Amino acid sequence: MKQQLKKYIHRYVDFSDAELDAFIAKMELIKLEKKKFILEEGEICHHQYFLLEGLVHTFYLDQDGNERTSSFALENWWFTSLESYIKQSPSFYSIQTIEPCVFLKIAKTDLDALFDTIPNLEKFFRLMAQNMVIALQRRTDIYQKMISKERYEYFRRNFPEFFQRVPQYLIASYLEITPEYLSSLRNSK
């Protein structure tokens, strides 16, 4: 089970077995059904999560009470409510399972302690954060330069997995359009 995370980590950094084990020992395994909250808006996020199986999304509610999805996570993705986690402040976002999920979590207090003893861990999380920056910049660009129809095509082509697994109204909210308009885009071509 935790083998999957070890394999993932080795793609980025050369940990010794002892280091890796010390890290992994602090991670707790969680299973959750679909449509369950991992974190609710307003709570303080104390953990970082690594998804082993399933599908998760991070969202908030706008003034009209609509869910606005800001990101998805699939197998082998890290997720958390980063600003809340770092500042230990109330989260703007909720995190919820879309499918039944299995994931690992590690507490900020544990991870911060490990940082002091395992320099490689700093490197690993630096690389993770940099990857997030790149992904976010790409997303921003795509929204800036494409109209909805192009965004839809782009994501359908580049993340076909999502489009089979995620309900349409969530895709619409991620593409920043209404479900009605998405439906018309899908059928107009």
* Interface residue list for DNA (CB under 7 A): 64, 147-149, 167-169, 176-184, 186-187
Establish if 70 lies at the interface with a copy of itself (CB under 8 A): yes
CA distance 89 to 41: 11
State in angstroms the smallest separation of the CB of 182 from DNA.
Answer: 7
Segment (H or E) for 2:
none
Q: Which is nearer to DNA, 115 or 143 (CB)?
A: 143
Measured distance CA(68)–CA(2) in Å, rounded: 32
CA gap 188, 147 in Å, rounded: 15
The residue assigned the tokens 């399972």 is: 97
In which element (H, E) is residue 137 found?
Answer: helix 119-145
Q: How far is the CB of 163 from DNA (least distance, A)?
A: 10
Of the residues 28, 92, 158, 160, which one makes contact with a copy of itself according to CB under 8 A: 92
Residues that bind a copy of itself (CB under 8 A): 60, 62-63, 68, 70, 82-83, 86, 92, 115, 119, 122-123, 125-126, 129-130, 132-134, 136-141, 143-145, 176
